[in-house]
Structure 1
Amino acid sequence: MRSIGVVTTARSDYGIYRPVLDAMERSSTLEYGLFVSGAHLAEKYGMTIREIEAADRPVWARIPMLDESGGDTDASVARAMGRGVSGFADALAQKRPDILMVLGDRFDMFAAVAASVPLNLPIAHIHGGEITFGAIDEVFRHAITKMAHLHFPATEEYAARIRQMGEEDWRITVSGAPSLDNLTTGNLHGAAELETVFGIPFSPPPIVVTLHSSTRGLESTRDDCAAMMDALRTIEDRAIIFTAPNADPGGLEIRAQIAAFVAERTNAHSLESFGSAHYLSALGAAAAVVGNSSSGLIETPSFRLPTVNIGDRQDGRTRARNVIDVAPESGAIGDAIRRALDPAFRETLSDLANPYGDGNAASRIVEVLETVELDDRLLAKRFADL
């Protein structure tokens, strides 16, 4: 059996991985195990390793990274990376999977990849080649690409960017976004079930809000969040559901503003996490998404769901026409929300196609993991000049 180590550091990447993990479980030639780290192991972020354990996923190692601040300052993120490199070095040296699979662009994911380089472990990278000018994730994503040996970008545009970075074409497989595979399983839930599970009214359809911190600093995060809250105060005819921000500098400021907003308004609710299946179900039952999460660009087109994308965090990423980009100013955000809630706008999305794929990413990824030769050609990377 070929062993695949999978690095997961937060609820966000775990939800995306799920179809790939399921496909590996069905494989007769692969076994996998999770290296769990980051926010998964922090109580203040919901200790989401419990979701992994409840699903009976194999956990090969737990690597604590975050300190008591939870990665809420720039210095604490740097220190967490150091702990992560050290912890992953020990865990990977002990287990040594045949391939290490990673996803995306976060500092905690970068720490795992950096630790693997001296160990000569082949790296398979999902969601490379993307651009997000408004986040420090931009730097980590491209650095991971240069350390990785196999690439699974979501679109041909992103694959072209990986080639431009000197990666050989045979290493690149355009897979689509794995999260979209979750939409083809038939495991989504209706509004009535969501109301029962979470005790939140889904009629009329709610607004789902996810805001992550700005990389321009705490003051910008505070101001951007306050502007969004001012705009949301004009919404009284439906529920507003907040999901928690990432473990990034400024995240605690967003959490504090969410708590204050929920305390003052009877139609506002906050959840640490829906869980991946319930989150997609909530998108299917929502009237609009508001915030700056990548999910607002990647998953929402499949639901023809209007999305208000605030600020520059996702600048450079491919978006469908359901996305309304808006500056972090309360008046502009309010206008964008009203446009998103207008039935006439949603009617224009009836024929919308998702640019991030067709819901068959996992099979494409697993086929490569099963068949790629684990030889010197894979490990000895060359720079392919254009």
Structure 2
Amino acid sequence: MAYPLRAIGKYWAKRLPATFHNGNSSPKLTFAMRKICVVITARASFSRVKTVLTAIDAHPGLALQIVVAASALSERYGNILPHLKEENLPVTAVIPNMLDVENPTASAKTTGLAVIELATFLANHSPDVVVTVADRFETIATAIAAVNMNIPLAHIQGGEITGNIDDRIRNSVSQLADLHFTATEKARNRLIAMGLPPHKIHFTGCPSIDLIYHHKTIEFDPYKIYGGVGSQPDLNEPYLVVLQHPVTTESNHSKWQIENTLNALAPLDMPVIWFWPNADAGTAGTAQGMRAFRERHFGLPFHFFRHMESRHFIQLLKNCACFVGNSSVGIRECGALGVPAVNIGTRQCGRERSPNAVDCAPGTTAIVSAVRYQLAHGHYPPSGLYGNGGAGQRIAEQLATVPFILKKHILSA
């Protein structure tokens, strides 16, 4: 009789033979560690699955494979390789497939290159399941490669709604996936309504919220660690954190939209910590607007960072007076922290949110009004909408125990 290996440590699990004998021909113990391949294509995706990676790596029945690709390898957009090394997480492969993603053509070609290179990796490393994250355009490359090679696909953060091309990418990946881990109960119900089998959809909470619950208050100097450009305002005073990405379906308006936000915050005369946007169609316009403004208004208490390690970023969020922009950070992490957030434009339209986030149009007057309202309101009660910690561990446990059954093997009732 064969029994799954559970009691011995991962060190020995990777080194002992797969079958033990008691002196005769009948085996006493067999095991096969499940190989879990997680593909990370952007800095935001890394923070979304950081606790999943650590939980998989620590699990005695799982062997972690990490593939890093696209903008996650770029210094410009936040190279995650040093952070993986610091966490002692294994990088199995790097795929430098990103073109200069400033237009839809480059985005499509970047995705195509990812499919080609991922297919080679999957053929050589034979994972038992491939894990893909959220809704960025590169995510569908992971799904296409895995599905065409008959490798089960697990999708984290499916079933959500936003206001741009991400919806189509996310829903397409969900339809291709064999296993689902949702951040909210409503997202799970939405996947069921899309016709996906309920027993394959697990409400685990959002792994990025785990970081809030793991967070310990730390003192650090962001200017010394991360450099950046601009003045160095005193962060003991009330300050704003801003992260605004181009809207992929409105890429021609990205420069105008970022200029409106910059012009709205300048008269407030508050310290502002500003982060570089993602690699998306329209990023060139956003970058041009930020650089031109910085040159004209160098004396303002604005500081611009490219990226920041999650524990430091969470500390900045926790202490800020208000978050401004169109990143899901304002809804997920800020909701869990109770930090007031101003959500600009359509990028997060439809996403579930807590009372901490107020919406406004991408116009200067509307942004000024919304920010002043949130500053006057102050902090909100923390929300558990996207979870209360432990999502990474729950996902790892599911990956270790659930049957990996391809959709084509599931028979209708």
User: What is the distance in 1 between the residues matched to 2:412 and 2:151?
Assistant: 21
Partner of 2:194: 165
Q: 2:87 aligns with which of 41, 47, 55?
A: 55
Structure 1 unaligned regions, length at least 5: none
Partner of 2:20: none
Instruction: Say whether 1:127 aligns with 2:157.
Output: yes
Partner of 1:110: 140
Instruction: Say whether 1:291 aligns with 2:325.
Output: yes
Partner of 1:319: 353
User: What is the distance in 2 between the residues matched to 1:383 and 1:309?
Assistant: 43
CA deviation after TM superposition for structure 1 residue 218, in Å: 3.3
User: What is the distance in 2 between the residues matched to 1:66 and 1:181?
Assistant: 29
Instruction: Say whether 1:183 aligns with 2:212.
Output: yes
CA deviation after TM superposition for structure 1 residue 259, in Å: 2.4
The amino acid that maps onto 1:301 is G
Contact 1:120 1:379 in 2 (8 A): no
Partner of 1:140: 169
Q: 1:35 aligns with which of 49, 52, 67?
A: 67
Partner of 2:103: 73
CA deviations 1:294-332 (Å, max 9, x no partner) are: 111111012110100000110110011110100011001
TM-score (norm 1): 0.92
Look up the SS of the partner of 2:203 in the other structure.
Answer: coil
Residues 382, 330 of structure 1: alpha-carbon distance in 2 compared, 3 angstrom cutoff:
farther
Contact 1:195 1:202 in 2 (8 A): no
Instruction: Say whether 1:265 aligns with 2:281.
Output: no
TM-score (norm 2): 0.86
Alignment: residue pair count: 374
Contact 2:68 2:91 in 1 (8 A): yes
CA deviations 1:189-222 (Å, max 9, x no partner) are: 24x5556645653111321101111223333212
Partner of 2:311: 277
Residues 229, 283 of structure 1: alpha-carbon distance in 2 compared, 3 angstrom cutoff:
same
> For the aligned residues, what is the CA RMSD?
1.9
User: What is the distance in 2 between the residues matched to 1:262 and 1:158?
Assistant: 40
CA deviation after TM superposition for structure 1 residue 78, in Å: 1.0
CA deviation after TM superposition for structure 1 residue 256, in Å: 2.2
The amino acid that maps onto 1:233 is A
CA deviation after TM superposition for structure 1 residue 99, in Å: 1.1
Partner of 1:13: 45
Contact 2:272 2:302 in 1 (8 A): yes
Instruction: Say whether 1:3 aligns with 2:31.
Output: no
Contact 1:188 1:280 in 2 (8 A): no
Contact 1:129 1:141 in 2 (8 A): yes
Q: Which moved more, 1:216-225 or 1:363-372?
A: 216-225
User: What is the distance in 2 between the residues matched to 1:373 and 1:383?
Assistant: 15
The amino acid that maps onto 2:317 is L
Partner of 1:380: 408
Look up the SS of the partner of 1:217 in the other structure.
Answer: helix
User: What is the distance in 2 between the residues matched to 1:265 and 1:240?
Assistant: 13
Partner of 2:237: 204
Contact 1:262 1:269 in 2 (8 A): no
Instruction: Say whether 1:26 aligns with 2:58.
Output: yes
CA deviation after TM superposition for structure 1 residue 336, in Å: 0.7
Q: Give the fraction of aligned pairs with identical amino acids, expressed as a percent.
A: 32
Instruction: Say whether 1:308 aligns with 2:342.
Output: yes
Matches within 5 A, 1:222-241: 222-236=255-269, 238-241=270-273
The amino acid that maps onto 1:334 is V
Partner of 1:152: 181
Contact 1:261 1:268 in 2 (8 A): no
The amino acid that maps onto 1:380 is K
Look up the SS of the partner of 1:241 in the other structure.
Answer: strand
The amino acid that maps onto 2:142 is A
User: What is the distance in 2 between the residues matched to 1:162 and 1:16?
Assistant: 20
Residues 304, 383 of structure 1: alpha-carbon distance in 2 compared, 3 angstrom cutoff:
farther
Residues 218, 16 of structure 1: alpha-carbon distance in 2 compared, 3 angstrom cutoff:
closer
> Which protein shows a greater Rg?
2
Partner of 1:97: 127
